[in-house]
Amino acid sequence: MTQNLYTRPTPAASTKLFAYAPEAFQAFGEFNKQTFAEGALTVKVKEYIAVAAAHITGCPYCIEAHVGKAKGQEATFEELLEAVAVGAAINAHSAFYNSIHTWNAYNEEANTELYALDHIERIERLEETNEGLYTSFVEYINRTLVPERIGVKDKFLIAVGASHVTGNAYSIEIFTRKAKAEGVTLEELAETILVASALKAGAAIAHRVNALAAYERE
């Protein structure tokens, strides 16, 4: 019979590795606790960002945990679906904007500075190459950012958090500027980045049960 590599971990499996690095695990737990405390951002908004980020990392444990926490903050399924859609769009945006590197490499400009600010303008070369494809992609991104059940400011906070999970400098630049234009403060920005950091690291921490199972498997 085929074994499922993703099963809901038992408490014993979840805590077994703690004994081998107790201070580090405890430090991460405290960081996570402080990150999700009420601050410049509400806990509910932080959970929007977390749910979007979890769908980018693909961590099923994180998705389940943060959907539950968001539900506890009275987030509706419709709101969470919007958050997921923004995360998916930013993930796609980061991949699409990496085509700037494709342009540089194809045109033998690969030795130019990576992620130069003025390279963002080179995305227009895609529009010149395939206007229909470029236009449909831009429309898709813009559509996910239209305020509905989640307001425009919170959607841009989700976008900034998602950009930090993907690590794409172009996406970070573009969506941070847009977030600032919507009134996002530095305090809110800092908390957004910490939530993204907690989810990116948390996905690795959560998968400790998979590593333990692999290690102990006969």
The answer, yes or no, to whether residue 192 has pLDDT greater than 60, is yes
Q: What is the pLDDT of residue 4?
A: 74
Tell me the C-alpha distance between 145 and 141, whole Å.
7
Which residue, 41, 52, 45, is CA-closest to 166?
Answer: 52
Identify the pLDDT of residue 2: 61
In the predicted structure, residue 112 carries a pLDDT above the cut 90: no
With the C-alpha atoms ordered 176, 177, 179, 180, is the resulting torsion angle positive or negative? positive
CA distance 194 to 215: 31
**Region 142-160 average pLDDT:** 98
Percent of residues, the chain, with pLDDT higher than 90: 78
Biggest CA pair distance of the chain: 58
Q: Where are the domains of the chain?
A: 21-216
Q: Give residue 115's pLDDT band: very low, low, confident or very high (50, 70, 90).
A: confident
Q: How confident is the model at residue 3 (pLDDT cuts 50, 70, 90)?
A: low
pLDDT at 105: 87
Q: What is the pLDDT of residues 37-65, one digit of tens each?
A: 999 999 999 999 999 999 999 999 999 99
Write the CATH number of the domain with boundaries 21-216.
1.20.1290.10
Summarize the confidence of residues 137-151 as an average pLDDT: 97
Residues above pLDDT 70, as percent of the chain = 97
| 1 pLDDT more than 60 | no
Here the tokens at position 1 are: 């019979």
The pLDDT confidence band at residue 110, using thresholds 50, 70 and 90, is low
Global confidence as pTM: 0.93
Q: What is the mean pLDDT of residues 147-163?
A: 98
Confidence of residue 137 (pLDDT cuts 50, 70, 90): very high
Contact partners, residue 16, CB within 8 Å, separation at least 6: 212
- Residue 127: φ, ψ to 5°: -65, -40
Could you tell me the two tokens for 73? 């903050």
- Quickly state the pLDDT bin for 5 (edges 50, 70, 90): confident
- Single-letter residue type at 148: E
Q: Which residue has the higher pLDDT, 15 or 171?
A: 171
Strands (E), 150-197: none
Across the range 129-138, mean pLDDT stands at 95
